[in-house]
Amino acid sequence: MAEELRYIVEIEGLSKRFQQPDGSWVEAARDVNLKVLDAPGCGEFVALLGPSGCGKSTVLKAVAGLQKPTTGSVRVDGKTVEGPGRDRGMVFQQYTSFDWMSVQANVEYGLRLQGVRTQERRARAAELIQQVGLTGFEGAYPQTLSGGMRQRVAIARTLANDPRVLLMDEPFGALDAQTRWSMQLLLIDIWDRLDNTVLFVTHDVEEAVFLADRVCVFSARPGTILEEIEIPFDRPRNLETKTSAPFNEMHERVLQSLKRASQT
Ligand code: ADP
Ligand code: MG
């Protein structure tokens, strides 16, 4: 008997309209459809790529359960999304760690809420802090850290909940180019060892091509997915990937797709 395909994320016919303060309506997203297979042992890394204001964050927030779609539906692991849940973790561009808590306390926060006992919590947090390269900064407070380090804290905090789906909304958008590169490498390195699905929003073609298995190219507002492009490069990827000829070709192809999409 043919086995039924299971999807970890299913977005069907999602549209979202917002009423503006002057009473007029803005359609942020229209008929967005996306399916991500639930592949055992390895999640897919999907990039949502589009120009600023095309509705990418709106779609991601619907998956996070932070915003209800106007029409259509989102299912995660077969269940319709009704609100936020621990199966989904979100990392935003703005720094969202608790400034009054140390790095250690920030990373332990979710585990504490779950009632994980102190010793196990410490051990798990230490492991995550090590993974994101913050060993030695356990006692530091986020506002004393650089932007890149703060995002490391945010990633560790989010991973502590072990979400099935990691939602990232331009997480490196506020960082300088150098830091951005090192954070991309860090994310790839961490993700290679996990089996979560990642939905990663970006307006940066290079970032999308470097990180993702599949790039979903959005039209201008109201945003809809006009093209899905598979990115076949082997993993683990590294800085050499970025300078290879196939990478440049793929970059060009996605860029052209984005240009076409922005004109529709
Ligand atoms: P992107 O993330 O691609 O930059 P967004 O999803 O943030 O785009 O926004 C798409 C459009 O929807 C924008 O025109 C934005 O102003 C509008 N929008 C987003 N959120 C709201 C909201 N809560 N209320 C009103 N308008 C909104
Ligand atoms: Mg956005």
For residue 177, give both structure tokens.
């180019």
At 71-82, the pLDDT tens digits run 999 999 999 999
Tell me, using a 6 A CB cutoff, whether residue 29 lines ligand 1: no
Euclidean distance between CA atoms 199 and 48, whole angstroms: 7
Across 116-136, average pLDDT: 96
Q: What mean pLDDT value characterizes the chain?
A: 94
For residue 211, give both structure tokens.
């990180």
Across 207-222, average pLDDT: 97
140: number of Cβ within 10 Å: 15
SS3 10: strand
| Beta carbons within 8 Å of 248's beta carbon, 6+ residues apart | none
Query: DSSP label at 4?
Result: P
For residue 49, give both structure tokens.
């790529």
Q: How far is the CA of 86 from the centre of ligand 2 (A)?
A: 22
Across 158-166, average pLDDT: 94
Euclidean distance between CA atoms 59 and 4, whole angstroms: 26
SS3 262: helix
Q: How far is the CA of 116 from the centre of ligand 2 (A)?
A: 34
Tell whether the model's pLDDT for residue 1 goes beyond 70.
no
Atom of ligand 1 nearest to the CA of 56: 3
What pLDDT score was predicted for residue 2? 58
Residue with the smallest CA separation from ligand 1 atom 13 is: 53
Distance of CA 27 to the CA centre of its chain: 23
Residue with the smallest CA separation from ligand 1 atom 12 is: 28
Q: How far is the CA of 54 from the centre of ligand 2 (A)?
A: 8
Q: What is the pTM of this model?
A: 0.95
Cα dihedral sign for 140, 144, 148, 153? Answer: positive
Q: Compute φ and ψ for 116, nearest 5 degrees.
A: -70, 135
**Which residue in 64, 3, 83, 6 sits closest to 40, CA to CA?**
6
The angle formed by the CA atoms of residues 227, 34 and 231, to the nearest 5 degrees, is: 50
Tell whether the model's pLDDT for residue 144 goes beyond 70.
yes
For residue 52, give both structure tokens.
């600023």
For residue 257, give both structure tokens.
């797709």
